[in-house]
Structure 1
């Protein structure tokens, strides 16, 4: 009986939505070589990927009061990214570490850490890593991304996978994105603002001035480059090529703490996303009104690859949508967000019990597809619950 009770006490209960997600969060933990800590990107076939790690890390750790595991995973990832910046062999098991948005997601992840422990402790622990990343980018050392004179970052990777929309068919990209990419520049602007804030605490005043001046240029160029006459953002711009597709990547420009857009511009973008992309299971990767809409990821491998980011709905994107809603409309959207989360709670008793799958069809009945358990979806849902709780506590 004592042994039985001991085993029961060590297990996380799955008696409600939140506890199911906490239990799922722990299932992504992975330790190698005794001290290297990772987050698996999903089950059953995903390994640890750099982008997925930084996106899911705050939700899977900070949102459930597990700051210690955040620091352990970040220590492993920091080691790997420093090796990458020094052009040394990467000794940690993080794939896709060379992707251009990875260092910017790393800074975003640390930014969430600062909200929990405070700016001063964050600066002491991760300040050097953040500033090393920025110097690495400003000095033009990233193989696929450069900082332009207008303050924006340009991704140069024609024919290569450069963003999270990474499906290929016969070696060709299904969603080719090159040049000024909207979510990468949103992350870049956010990183500049956060780094300038930290550097003011204890740092070189000249570097702070450099960051603020660059941020101002980025802000002006961002609006000129991405905002179109229909009240939403181009997905990417490369010379005279502007992608008019309505995609959820514009959400990051209105959800991140530092936005280059005015309040009216943010509201307009949110309204477009609500009308064309929102589903009960997250955000569609493409609007039904845009060309190439293909919302059902099923069938042979090629057919699934062609539909992977062409209309399927992803809960982790819904996390940033709900964060944007609360930032723009505050408490007036609380009940709306709570109803939106019901669509995720319904999944606790289907597919893989107690967790969220990789994606859903973009059309009713929104059937689950892909990996049976996906770290970014679980992490962002937990982070949304944490944000929602803070707004609720204010009432």
Structure 2
């Protein structure tokens, strides 16, 4: 029987992208311009390219999925405040790689004020930026920096003719990333769908898991479900770590055989319309937890559940992480894996021997999505409605540790995706079980 298809959410409307551009333009001085390049194709081998993935800020502001785009925002420009340069229409190339939007398609389908093909870019871009005294560009983008340097040279050449000087450029990312931090209802719908696909894939992996399979075979089950459900594929490199491989946080080789006596950690999420799911589950390869595995798993699970309950407007990721550190440390002491007082072991950071990472990150168009975690060095950013984050505590006992053998080589992480609501929170990834009894029951039904 073929897997059930999940109902697809509506795509984000051009009107929402227009609203974002207008909100961004409203933050710019009238004498400024902003330039945001899209992504380009990257050669994989000879004449073959990697699958194209649009640059997230460019996509957030345009919804355009074609490579080699350039967005120019020009506050107060009478002919239109948003201009896009796009791929040239080329019947010969389009016969090989598919139809291109062209300037008319960009204007008609994406609500851009004016669009031009890239063949006109070198001629038109300097005149569009002429007279602008400030230029906002993403400072991590070489193409954007090259545009800024060319604009400066063009402005300096015009000084003798009375043209205004370009005073310099500023980083555009703080403005766009602050906007991206708060998700709209349409974005949350896409994140909910990416989470649902991801959850269904994790359930599928649990159902088929058995000793003797290879890690890459579970990876194949996960990624088949992603594609079957209409996702573009994984939102990041899929992690399937059996046994001690789970103690390597970014283990992606996925090449070992799964042993009956071990746990397997899967960290995998689907990308749908560029929005990411990000789920981690840890479960026994055999379908049944050992006593030691269950005890350690419960420490992580209870810390994760308490952390999720703390997600609400006004809380902060720092608060949530500190709560998790305290719960994990107390659990490690209760199991005899650490000794002494909880506060003492937190103060001397003994827990970091087993818990190496933070509890949460933002989630959205990027898996580790943009936005700062603090308002300044002393002030954690408070959560507000519309933020989306992960909650993912873990414990990792190295294989060569001196602890009792029953705990060695165990890595456990449990991760869910959570949206902040006015009333508290919504867990987007509840479709995949994490209670011990639920996991064992599911795995018993192959």
Instruction: Give the TM-score, by structure 2 length.
Output: 0.23
Instruction: Give the TM-score, by structure 1 length.
Output: 0.25
State the structure with bigger RCO (CA 8 A, min sep 6), 1 or 2: 1
Q: Which has the greater radius of gyration?
A: 2
In terms of fraction of residues, the more strand-rich structure is 2
